[in-house]
C-alpha cells in the first residue's frame, strides 16, 4: 500500500522519497544528511563499482537508498532490520524508489548467537529505535525474532561478502561484531562505520582491530554540539 504521504529526504545527490507514517520518520528519517553527514560522506567517497554494502540496523532504509543512488555499477545492498514496522517501511521505500534490483531487505537480528530471541520494542511505529534484546529492558511490546551470527547467516545463505559495513544497533554493536569474526577478516571488507555507545567503545575497537581494521576517524559532535552518549568510528583495513 502507498502511504498517505511521501516525503523527499534531505539528500541533494538524488531524488529519494520515503513513506511518512510516524513521528519518528518526520523527526529524523527524512533528514539523514543532517543527522549523520559523516555517514553520507563515507558512502559517497567509499562505494566503488561492484561493491556490496551491508546496512546493519537499516531502519526504514534511508542510508541503504543513498548507497543505492551512487553512480556506480553492479552495487548491491543488504539491509538488515528486525523491527516489524520499520522492516515493512524499508520494503515499501525500496519499491517507492525502484531499487529492488539493488537492495535486499532481511528481517533478522544480528548478534553473538544464532537462535530464537526476543526483541523488546521501545516504540512499535516505523522509524523507531533503541529496541533491545536484554530481558530486563523496558518494552512496549516483546516479539520473538530470528537471531543470527553474521558469519552463520553469510555461510548458510551464501550472501555476498561486504565491501563496506555500517552498524547502528543502539548498544548491541559488540554482540554483532563478536558474531562476525570471519566476515570482518575478509580482505575485501575495506571499511566499517559503527555507532558506538560510550561505555562499550573499548570492546568494539578491540574486535575491529583484531580483524585488521584500524580506527581512522572518530566523530564526537554534530555542528559543534557533542553527541549524546555515543560516538561514531570509521575503521579501515590496515
pLDDT along the chain (238 residues), means of 10: 76 96 83 97 98 98 98 97 96 97 98 96 91 88 96 98 97 96 98 94 96 98 95 97
Helix residue spans in 14-141 (DSSP H): 23-24, 32-35, 37-46, 62-68, 84-96
Three-state DSSP class for residue 68: helix
Three-state DSSP class for residue 217: strand
Structural domains of the chain ordered from first start: 35-237 (3.40.50.150)
**pTM, full prediction:** 0.95
Q: Give the Cα separation of 71 and 81 in Å (integer).
A: 25
Sign of CA dihedral 158, 164, 169, 174: positive
CA distances from 42 to 60, 100, 193 (A): 19, 23, 8
Amino acid at each position: 500500500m502507498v502511504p498517505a504521504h511521501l516525503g523527499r529526504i534531505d539528500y541533494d545527490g538524488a531524488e529519494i522519497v520515503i513513506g511518512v507514517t510516524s513521528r519518528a520518520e518526520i523527526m529524523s528519517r527524512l533528514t539523514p544528511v543532517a543527522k549523520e553527514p559523516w555517514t553520507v560522506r563515507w558512502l559517497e567517497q567509499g562505494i566503488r563499482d561492484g561493491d556490496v554494502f551491508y546496512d546493519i540496523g537499516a531502519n526504514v532504509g534511508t542510508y541503504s537508498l543513498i548507497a543505492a543512488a551512487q553512480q556506480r555499477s553492479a552495487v548491491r545492498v543488504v539491509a538488515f532490520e528486525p523491527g516489524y514496522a520499520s522492516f515493512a517501511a524499508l520494503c515499501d521505500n525500496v519499491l517507492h524508489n525502484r531499487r529492488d534490483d539493488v537492495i535486499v531487505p532481511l528481517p533478522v537480528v544480528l548478534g553473538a548467537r544464532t537462535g530464537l530471541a526476543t526483541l523488546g520494542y521501545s516504540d512499535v511505529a516505523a522509524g523507531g529505535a533503541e529496541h533491545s534484546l536484554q530481558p530486563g529492558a523496558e518494552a512496549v511490546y516483546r516479539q520473538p525474532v530470528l537471531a543470527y551470527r553474521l558469519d552463520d547467516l553469510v555461510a548458510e545463505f551464501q550472501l555476498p561478502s561486504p565491501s563496506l559495513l555500517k552498524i547502528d544497533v543502539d548498544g548491541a554493536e559488540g554482540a554483532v561484531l563478536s558474531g562476525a569474526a570471519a566476515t570482518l577478516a575478509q580482505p575485501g571488507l575495506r571499511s566499517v562505520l559503527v555507532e558506538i555507545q560510550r561505555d562499550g567503545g573499548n570492546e568494539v575497537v578491540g574486535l575491529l582491530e583484531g580483524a585488521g581494521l584500524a580506527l581512522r576517524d572518530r566523530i564526537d559532535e554534530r555542528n559543534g554540539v557533542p553527541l549524546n552518549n555515543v560516538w561514531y568510528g570509521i575503521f579501515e583495513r590496515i
